[in-house]
Chains A and B, each alone.
Chain A
Amino acid sequence: MKTIHFNFLTLLFIAISFTSCSNDDDAGTITSPVVTSRAENIPAPQQGGGGQPASGDFTKFSFSTGAVVANDSNDWDIAFRGSTIAINGGQVTGTTDEPARTGTTEAIIVDGTFASITSAPETGYTQDSTTGFSIPTGSGNGWYTYTGPPNHLILPIAGKVIVFKTSNGNYAKVEILSYYKDAPTNPDGTDSRFFTFNYTYNPNVGDRNF
């Protein structure tokens, strides 16, 4: 908790100092502060899976509104179904009930603590495509590990921060904290498919700082 708080202040400071700079350059622009929030219990239901073909709608989420958006909305950044994460950029991967990619969102997984990622990388972003998701699926490949028997837990890998460049050109970073409802310290495998994550969204277009 301390870390986040400290981080938030730092960011605020950076944001403010940045604000003062840009005011000199471009008197007309009003920059907004960078916001760090926590999204809790974002449901990600799924039919099938576990060896069977998966189906069901993805739950869409927007960083700018900080909320789940309607299923038919095109105004989303990331979407969740089970342990699979889609981004609103690129092409459909071919899985059933997948949302259409109407935007140009890009993502990259960066190693580090959430606080240590103070600016978004310039390059290296990928989009969803016919060969797979930008955020890879499978244990140890992307954001989680699967513990296998007997507990079959999905645990977010520590030190994986997903950085986004949204369709509107804003930058955001995400650290997934839990795949279980109410983010228990020691999940027992019940009430899965509920995402809790910390995210920082920079509302200033093109500004890579967090």
Chain B
Amino acid sequence: MHSIRLLRMILNKKHTILLLILFLASFTFSQEIKKEVNDSTKTNELEEVIISATRTKRQLSSLPLPAQIISKKEISNTNTVRLSDILNEQTGIITISDFGGGEGVQLQGLDSQYTLILIDGVPLVGRSAGTLDLSRVTVGNIKQIEIVKGASSSLYGSEALGGVINIITETPKNGFNGHLNHRTGTFDTHDTSLGLTYKKNKLAISTHINRYSSEGFDLIEGGTKTVEPFENYTFNPKISYKFNSKTNASLSFRYYLQDQDNVAISNDELLTGDSKLREWNSHLKINHQFNSKWDTYLELYATRYKADEFLNTPDGSSFDSSFFNQLLIRPEARATYTLNDNHQFTGGIGWNHETLDRSFFSTNPTFDSQYVYAQYDGNYFEDLNVIVGARFDNHSEYQSQFSPKLALRYNITHKIAIKGSVGYGYKAPDFRQLYFDFTNSTVGYTVLGYNAVQTRIPELQQQGQINTILVPISNFNDELKPESSVSFNVGFQYTPVSNLKLEANLFRNNISDLIDTRVIASKTNGQNVFSYYNVNKVYTQGAEFNFNWKPFTALKVSGGYQYLIAKDKEVVNDLENGINAFARDPNTLVTVQLQKSDYFGLFNRSKHMANLKIYYDFQKWGLNTNIRTTYRSKYGLSDSNGNGYLDTYDPFVDGYFITDWAINKTLYKHYELGLGIDNVFDFTDPQNISNISGQLFYGKLRIQF
């Protein structure tokens, strides 16, 4: 089994190289022609502007923070349709599917729940099990995707531990414009986008409609499908009005709905049902510029995320049902004061109001938190940039948080820059960790949220369900602490020649008070009661390298590599002291003593991740093509020998390559035809990786009007 997989991997590697050679060969002949092509593309390379890093418009290239932009061009050239697909191709980022099937992002080795996902600066909600499913987001109307790495709670508050991913939607150009885009491919997968924009004088209106559906796929024969058929729709109308040269307002609305078959097998009985998601976001933004120094924003954001699921037995009676209904309302005021070209101040004040109605909850909780933040962005001696900021969050249910951040950048020469930042990030305990009240109906264990323990344990005791209390309920008097981290980033930027850019970034995230579950009482049925508590200290550290090379205008080569170490400090200590340092030899099943070097690290983390992308533009023929390969080294998913952590005796998922290829041809100026293969070499690992379906062929038609 292993050798076959290895062989396939080697073959894949060889194929990749072969294909690369063919690919490179295919354009070398046209190189000479390209040379004489005019320089018009140069003008397109305007300085990339990023707004997520400082909440003001900043040149990406002058930023003291590790950040990156995925352009609209990259999205359209790769024919990507969902956010998860395009993020997966970025250095140091991987989307990982959780047990519920959602695809969350792992960034700098931190889980999905520690990265804040924003659309136009406001957050998406609906993390029923911690993960925010990124396949929920269509990329059809995206101007750019901004990624800021490192803790950013100084601006954004909770969840911004690992970083922030901000999706910036398009703004209309003058006149009436539109596009119709359809992509169809393997597994009867269809993605249709219709975008209409209108702008005249002071008014701009746009609408984006997307439908995405698939028959799903099955990696393991028999039983239920790996991914059941689904269809989803996104409606995104937006209107903006410029009252005068100083005041403008915009209102955007987004509605997302998904229906998916829900199928399960229990005791040889086929259970069927539905899984429905409904989400809306509405975002009102008013901008007023008092004078050249004062710029102010007023925002009102509201979003609701609803999920309903049920399963019925063959005779139609209910087997299981659950619901999740979260609401967030956030007013925020923000101002920027620009003293002069070198000194800028930004401040904001806001309020989060959150409610959740959910099955298996002890109550319908409400969160209220008020926050204020400030930031200073200054330049000194022409070459030094300083950003210092902090945010204070006052919360109704957990300890107040103060999140500072400092970032510096120094241009040593005009070719070399060094940047460094240190910041505090935190994630508030979520509703589930506080209010869960769930008893498994078939096995009989119970999970209680931290705040539910004090009322529920005495109740269970009265009902005679508790055998022994292992953690006294007085331990639950204090509030559960937010998970927090201090993150360090040191980066170098080197531009030896104008068409080559090299970047390196070293990072370290020290995370404290990680929330985990533990047994707090044993039940009379032999099962346990679990609850949440602050325990672990973990760290993730590593190095990231990126290069971007344009040997000539038509060719762009980019690549990246991330080395990552992610470990639980307690496990490291235990192994040093020989505590709980045992594993089972998988062959003899006998216990063996573990050394510190036997500890692999946190689950689902690969030491090595890399990508290589080659884009070629046959401008003369209106043709562009690209080939992208990503690599992920081996990782472990579960502990097999009862010590709770991943050691060398546990099973590992083999490393793998995924190669995608796309080609697009523009016809009659307004039409674009695209073809491609995702996962060219048909890599699958049915046992371990449920979100890689194998080879996908597709065709695309885009009509621009």
B440 to chain A: closest CB distance in Å?
Answer: 8
The CA-CA distance from A114 to B590 in the complex, in Å, is: 8
B610-646 interface code vs A (CB 8 A; 1 in, 0 out): 0000000000000000000000000000101111100
Chain B residues with Cβ under 8 A from A186's Cβ? 586, 640, 651
| A51, A113, A139: most-surrounded residue (chain B CB, <10 A) | A51
The CA-CA distance from A114 to B589 in the complex, in Å, is: 11
Partner of A139 from B528, B589, B643 at Cβ < 8 Å: B528
Partner of B589 from A54, A131, A140, A177 at Cβ < 8 Å: A177
B593–A51 touching, CB < 8 Å: no
Question: At the interface with chain A, which of B363-371, B518-526, B658-666?
Answer: B518-526
Chain B residues with Cβ under 8 A from A145's Cβ? 642, 644
A1–B519 touching, CB < 8 Å: no
- B61, CB-defined interface residue at 8 Å: no
Chain B minimum-CB-distance residue to A150: B99
B322 to chain A: closest CB distance in Å?
Answer: 15
- A14, CB-defined interface residue at 8 Å: no
Interface residues of B in 426-443 (CB under 8 A from A): 440-443
Question: At the interface with chain A, which of B242-250, B545-553, B563-571, B577-585?
Answer: B577-585
Partner of A175 from B441, B581, B591, B643 at Cβ < 8 Å: B591
B590–A54 touching, CB < 8 Å: no
- B592, CB-defined interface residue at 8 Å: yes
Interface size on A, residues (CB 8 A): 44
Known: A51-B443, A113-B592, A113-B593. A158 touches B468 (CB 8 A): no
Chain A minimum-CB-distance residue to B521: A138
| B99, B526, B582, B590: most-surrounded residue (chain A CB, <10 A) | B526
The CA-CA distance from A183 to B441 in the complex, in Å, is: 29
Partner of B584 from A49, A116, A147, A156 at Cβ < 8 Å: A156
B522–A138 touching, CB < 8 Å: yes
Chain B residues with Cβ under 8 A from A196's Cβ? 589
Interface residues of A in 83-103 (CB under 8 A from B): 84
- A185, CB-defined interface residue at 8 Å: yes
Partner of B444 from A51, A84, A150, A158 at Cβ < 8 Å: A51
- A123, CB-defined interface residue at 8 Å: no
B583–A158 touching, CB < 8 Å: yes
- B527, CB-defined interface residue at 8 Å: yes
A158–B443 touching, CB < 8 Å: no
- A157, CB-defined interface residue at 8 Å: yes
B528–A155 touching, CB < 8 Å: no
The CA-CA distance from A138 to B99 in the complex, in Å, is: 24
A158–B519 touching, CB < 8 Å: no
B642–A3 touching, CB < 8 Å: no
Chain A residues with Cβ under 8 A from B38's Cβ? none
Known: A3-B588, A50-B443, A140-B519. A157 touches B640 (CB 8 A): no
- A198, CB-defined interface residue at 8 Å: yes
Chain B residues with Cβ under 8 A from A175's Cβ? 590-591
Known: A52-B525, A138-B519. A159 touches B591 (CB 8 A): yes
Partner of A158 from B99, B579, B591, B651 at Cβ < 8 Å: B591
B642–A49 touching, CB < 8 Å: no
Chain A residues with Cβ under 8 A from B584's Cβ? 156, 158, 177
Chain B residues with Cβ under 8 A from A183's Cβ? 589
Interface residues of A in 142-167 (CB under 8 A from B): 144-145, 147-150, 152, 155-161
A113–B522 touching, CB < 8 Å: no
Chain A minimum-CB-distance residue to B528: A138
- A137, CB-defined interface residue at 8 Å: yes
The CA-CA distance from A135 to B245 in the complex, in Å, is: 78
Known: A51-B444, A51-B527, A138-B519. A177 touches B590 (CB 8 A): yes
Chain A residues with Cβ under 8 A from B581's Cβ? 159
| Beyond A4-B590, A147-B638, A158-B641, 8 extra complex contacts between A and B, CB < 8 Å | A51-B443, A138-B528, A148-B445, A149-B443, A159-B582, A159-B593, A177-B584, A186-B651
Interface CB pairs A-B, < 8 A, 16 = A50-B442, A53-B525, A112-B582, A116-B593, A132-B468, A140-B519, A141-B522, A148-B443, A148-B445, A149-B443, A156-B642, A158-B582, A158-B583, A158-B592, A177-B590, A183-B589
A positions within 8 Å CB-CB of B: 1, 3-4, 49-54, 84, 111-114, 116, 131-132, 137-141, 144-145, 147-150, 152, 155-161, 175, 177-178, 183, 185-186, 196, 198
